[in-house]
A and B are shown apart, each in its own frame.
Chain A
Amino acid sequence: MRFLSKLAIAAACASLLVAGTAAQQKVQINGAGATFPYPIYSKWFAEYNKLHPDVEINYQSIGSGGGIRQITNGTVFFGATDGPMTPDQLQQSPGKILHFPTVLGADVPVYNIPNVTAELKFTGAVLADIFLGKITKWNDPALAKLNTGVNLPATDITVVHRSDASGTSYIWVDYLAKVSPEWKSKVGVATAVNWPVGLGGKGNEGVAGLVTQTPGSIGYVELIYALQNKISFGTVQNLAGEFVKASEASVTAAAAGAALKMPADFRVSITNAEGKGVYPVSSFTWLLLYESPKDKAQSKIMVDFVKWALTDGQKFAGSLGYAPLPEAVVKLEMAALQKVKVS
């Protein structure tokens, strides 16, 4: 009798376990990648969950490099990156991966200088020299020349960069390589580079945190991180010679030209773009999806989500410091989404 009752209890527990795992109707999809768009992605996934309570999209911001790695390994269903995958990376993935731009953003130079509240002007060449370690003090003549009205102290410049592989870094070094031949040959362009100088912070969050806590520091973060944490950021000179502050308008201007000559796979760089009112350190950010993934049900959900994000989702962009995609690009993407197998 005792044995039978033990068996009964064991059976009940087993069935509860099975029932527990099978009975839930909710679908959970896991993704990982860029920290750059994390504020708007987290808003999107929360809003989408409100509209479709049975869909839970779990996104972890571990950096663009992480997003590319995990989707290649297949440990997450979708990835996100600010730096498009290189041909080598595309080759390593087991299936074809498609890029879909979701929103436009900008990298801004954030700084924390004691007793300086003014907005500083930077040129690309000066920024490159700071990150190369050639300009080491805030009152360097090159900086003073650009900011004549500001009383820059003789404090050491502490450079802050990303310690993890990141698309935000990619955008930044992509820009530096375009404006500084020395940067291009010495350091190069990738999601993780061998930084000549500086401290490493993990994620946009880590860099913003280090800059706020370290007097005399300069770093680069996505615009929204600077806005939300009220960190001072400067203007950057564009190809037309204007000193432009990152904003929805100036970032949209950067994408205007690209919309006309968009490649079929959407992998394009818009840093240092031509035109008036253009913010030079702007970029698309992409979602990565397999063209024919195994789990077709999850694929359908993601495709529906991306369609929502490209249309209704864009209205959240402005308030979070991003710029919505140009209409022409959205149209191209809707067509491209047909390629993703959903059944």
Chain B
Amino acid sequence: MSRTSRRKLLSAVFVGFCALSVLIALVPLAFVLFFVVSEGIQSLNVDFFRNMPKPVGESGGGMANAIVGTLMVTGLGSLFAVPIGILSGVYMSEYAGTRFAAVARFAADTLNGVPSIVIGVFAYGIAVLPFKQFSALAGGLALGIMMIPIIARTTEELLLLVPGTMREGALALGATRARAVFSVVLPSALPGIITGVVLALARIAGETAPLLFTAFSNRFFTTKLNQPVATLTVMVYTYAISPYKDWHRQAWAGALVLIFIVLVCSLLARFATRRLEGMQAR
């Protein structure tokens, strides 16, 4: 074989490999989605959304309390994380050249990489033990800690993308730095920031490990912040490792609901980004 045709063959093989790897990666995705949808759909009925968990062995139980619980802890997490995340993002973008901003950026990336179980251990130490209470608040704290770096970095990057002319224009008109940022720069980056928050929400809604020792779990319905609360993820975990067929079915249904939430959030985020890009193009 001539040198040229050998090179061409190698190139074709390489291109084929790349295409194949895309297919290989999509196989597990299809697999997982297929199983979750087919198994979950069978057990997804009104009971699932309306009923409380039933005792072991009795059928007809649901995850109503867990769904509310997930909303509670993600809501609490956002309350904690959104202000800290956005404002530190503002600092990192406004004072981007300073050494402290670099330190903050490093801290955010580090926090992003901390395993969620370690954050759960930390939250147990500071929010559960001292108060001798498992609680939704502690769960919200753990989830919030995970959201902060995502929101901070997204905010920073988006603010840096805003054209300098906008900021300079505001400053030239005599605005303080604060005013320039909050009235001019931030609002124009807002859709992207909201997208970042939504994506962070989607990520933590699916977290299990940090909730295991903070929010614990609850067989009953509660909206109290200082009590343990059931969450979709922990319930799916508890049911999945059990030997009861009925609980397995409910676990699949719970997984389906989780995937649905994640899918909706991702689609929303993509849609918002596209609208944002469309608006900026105009």
- A: residues with CB less than 8 A from B are 20-21, 24, 28, 30, 32, 38-39, 42-43, 45-46, 49, 56, 58-60, 73-76, 201-206, 208-209, 212, 225, 228-229, 231, 320
Chain B residues within an 8 Å CB radius of A58 = 218-220, 228
Q: Are B243 and A208 in contact (CB under 8 A)?
A: yes
Closest residue on chain B to residue A226 by CB atoms:
B243
Q: Known interface pairs A56-B220, A205-B243. Does A30 touch B55 (Cβ–Cβ under 8 Å)? A: no
Q: Are B55 and A46 in contact (CB under 8 A)?
A: yes
CB distance from A110 to the nearest CB of B (A): 10
Separation of A21 and B217 alpha carbons in the complex (Å): 19
Q: Known interface pairs A21-B225, A28-B227, A205-B241. Does A75 touch B219 (Cβ–Cβ under 8 Å)? A: no
Chain A residues within an 8 Å CB radius of B241 = 201-203, 205-206, 209
Chain B residues within an 8 Å CB radius of A73 = 129, 132
The answer to whether B134 has its CB under 8 Å from any CB of chain A is yes
Extra 9 A-B pairs, beta carbons < 8 Å, given A58-B228, A73-B129? A30-B227, A39-B56, A39-B57, A42-B219, A45-B219, A58-B220, A202-B241, A205-B241, A206-B242
Among residues 51 to 75 in chain B, which have CB atoms less than 8 Å away from a CB atom of chain A? Answer: 54-57
Specify which of A42, A58, A59, A228 lies most central, judged by the most chain B CB atoms within 10 Å of its CB. A58
CB distance from B49 to the nearest CB of A (A): 20
Chain A residues within an 8 Å CB radius of B112 = none
Specify which of A42, A49, A320 lies most central, judged by the most chain B CB atoms within 10 Å of its CB. A42
Task: Please count how many residues in chain B sit with their CB below 8 Å of the partner chain's CB atoms.
Answer: 25
Separation of A46 and B56 alpha carbons in the complex (Å): 10
Separation of A231 and B245 alpha carbons in the complex (Å): 13
Q: Are B242 and A60 in contact (CB under 8 A)?
A: no
The answer to whether B266 has its CB under 8 Å from any CB of chain A is no
Main secondary structure of the interface of B (DSSP, over half): loop
Q: Are A60 and B224 in contact (CB under 8 A)?
A: no
Contact among A43, A205, A225 with B55 in the assembled complex (CB-CB below 8 Å): A43
Q: Are A228 and B244 in contact (CB under 8 A)?
A: yes
Among residues 213 to 272 in chain B, which have CB atoms less than 8 Å away from a CB atom of chain A? Answer: 216-220, 222-228, 241-244
Q: Supply 11 A–B pairs (Cβ within 8 Å), ascending by A.
A: A24-B224, A28-B220, A30-B227, A38-B56, A39-B56, A39-B57, A45-B55, A60-B217, A73-B129, A76-B134, A212-B243
Q: Are B129 and A75 in contact (CB under 8 A)?
A: yes
CB distance from A25 to the nearest CB of B (A): 12
Separation of A206 and B241 alpha carbons in the complex (Å): 5
Separation of A18 and B86 alpha carbons in the complex (Å): 28
CB distance from A304 to the nearest CB of B (A): 18
CB distance from A4 to the nearest CB of B (A): 23
Separation of A234 and B181 alpha carbons in the complex (Å): 73
Q: Are B132 and A209 in contact (CB under 8 A)?
A: no
Chain A residues within an 8 Å CB radius of B243 = 204-205, 208-209, 212, 225, 228-229, 231
Chain B residues within an 8 Å CB radius of A202 = 241
Q: Are B56 and A43 in contact (CB under 8 A)?
A: yes
Q: Are B132 and A46 in contact (CB under 8 A)?
A: no
CB distance from A228 to the nearest CB of B (A): 6
The answer to whether B128 has its CB under 8 Å from any CB of chain A is yes
Chain B residues within an 8 Å CB radius of A49 = 220
Separation of A212 and B128 alpha carbons in the complex (Å): 36
CB distance from A36 to the nearest CB of B (A): 12
CB distance from B263 to the nearest CB of A (A): 29
